[in-house]
């Protein structure tokens, strides 16, 4: 008795083309997302500051005669949202004080900021004769 041999189907899936497509898609999305993150205009306008809390918090009112200094936990010093050095801080505050002698300075200090940086800012303010000073805090919940 003769048994018929079974047929072997020659099915070959080429995975090289599929791998090329997947890798090209990966490269495309990687580059496009990195460009979106790099050129995001709102990325640099946020200063992350974790303010300490207090029971009695005062509303500063209208921002007309106020200058804001921010000390973040990572170390940079900001004056009105721009990164400055301590020398630039002194020069710019001197100009602002000449333009508006009764201005108030609001200091926002991150909880993790070194205290020596706060003392340096207070020393600059004292050297310029700025007496109206407020320290920002969050309302305790």
pLDDT at 11: 65
- For residues 43 and 25, give the distance between their C-alpha atoms in angstroms, rounded to a whole number: 26
DSSP conformational letter for 39: T
How high is the pLDDT of residue 16?
79
What's the pLDDT at 59?
60
41 domain residue, yes or no: no
What's the confidence (pLDDT) of residue 6? 72
H/E stretch holding 91 reads: helix 86-99
Domain CATH for 109: 3.30.420.270
Per-residue pLDDT of the chain (141 residues; tens, 9 = 90+): 677 777 766 666 677 788 899 999 999 999 988 888 777 666 555 556 666 666 655 565 545 578 889 888 777 888 988 889 989 999 999 998 888 888 888 888 888 888 888 888 989 988 988 888 888 776 666
Tokens of 35: 């460009």
In a domain, 36, yes or no: no
For helices 115-128 and 86-99, the axis angle rounded to 10 degrees is 40
Q: Does some domain include residue 17?
A: no
Range of the domain at 63: 53-139
User: What phi and psi, each to the nearest 5 degrees, are found at residue 107?
Assistant: -105, 125
Q: Evaluate whether residue 62 is within a structural domain.
A: yes
pLDDT at 25 (0 to 100) = 95
The pTM assigned to this predicted structure is: 0.57
Q: Taking the CA atoms of the chain, what radius of gyration do you get in angstroms? A: 30
Q: Phi and psi (nearest 5°) for 105?
A: -105, 130
Distance from C-alpha of 51 to C-alpha of 48, rounded to nearest angstrom: 9
């Amino acid at each position: 008795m003769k048994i018929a041999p079974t047929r072997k189907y020659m099915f070959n899936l080429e995975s090289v083309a599929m791998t090329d497509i997947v890798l090209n898609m990966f490269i495309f999305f990687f580059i496009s997302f990195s460009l979106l993150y790099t050129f995001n205009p709102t990325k640099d306008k946020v200063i992350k500051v974790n303010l300490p809390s207090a029971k009695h918090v005062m509303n500063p009112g209208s921002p007309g005669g106020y200058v804001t200094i921010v000390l973040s936990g990572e170390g940079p010093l900001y004056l009105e949202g721009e990164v400055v050095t301590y020398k630039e801080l002194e020069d710019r505050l001197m100009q602002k004080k000449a333009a508006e002698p009764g201005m108030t300075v609001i200091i926002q200090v991150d909880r993790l900021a070194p205290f020596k940086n706060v003392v340096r800012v207070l020393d600059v303010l004292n050297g310029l004769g700025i007496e109206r000073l407020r320290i920002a805090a969050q309302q305790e919940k």
